[in-house]
Amino acid sequence: MSEIITVPRPKVAPKTERPRLYKVILLNDDYTPREFVVVVLKAVFRMSEDQAHRVMMTAHRRGVCVVAVYIKDVAESKATEATELGRKKNYPLMFTTEPEE
């Protein structure tokens, strides 16, 4: 007499997808003072003076610079907050978001 023994497979935990990340992008303009851009980067994105200066200069020279990457909600609220700080001073400073590829 033959006996069939079935061995249960170990349960594999279902893969949870990682949330899509969004880049916050700083756009150059001709009017916002450089020092103000640095202040905003430090305040909203918690950058050091040195990091903020590098990011500001990259946007100044190349037109745009990726500031940081976050989940969608955080990227959008930080971009809005940073753009709003410029608006309050009547500067055209602009931050946008776009999904990572």
Find the binder of ligand TYC among 22, 24, 25, 32 (CB under 6 A). 32
Find the binder of ligand TYC among 19, 20, 34, 98 (CB under 6 A). 34
The tokens describing 7, both together, are: 């061995």
Instruction: Please tell me the distance from the alpha carbon of residue 20 to that of residue 45, in angstroms, as a whole number.
Output: 19
Neighbour order of strands in the sheet with 94-99: 64-71, 21-27, 94-99
Find the binder of ligand TYC among 41, 52, 56, 75 (CB under 6 A). 56
- Is 37 a binder of ligand TYC (CB under 6 A)? yes
Strands, E, within 16-100: which ranges? 21-27, 64-71, 94-99
Tell me the window of 8-16, 23-31, 46-54, 75-83 that interacts with ligand TYC (CB under 6 A): 23-31
Cβ atoms of 100 and 22 within 8 Å: the answer is yes
Q: Footprint of ligand TYC on this chain (CB under 6 A)?
A: 26-30, 32-34, 37, 56, 59-60, 93
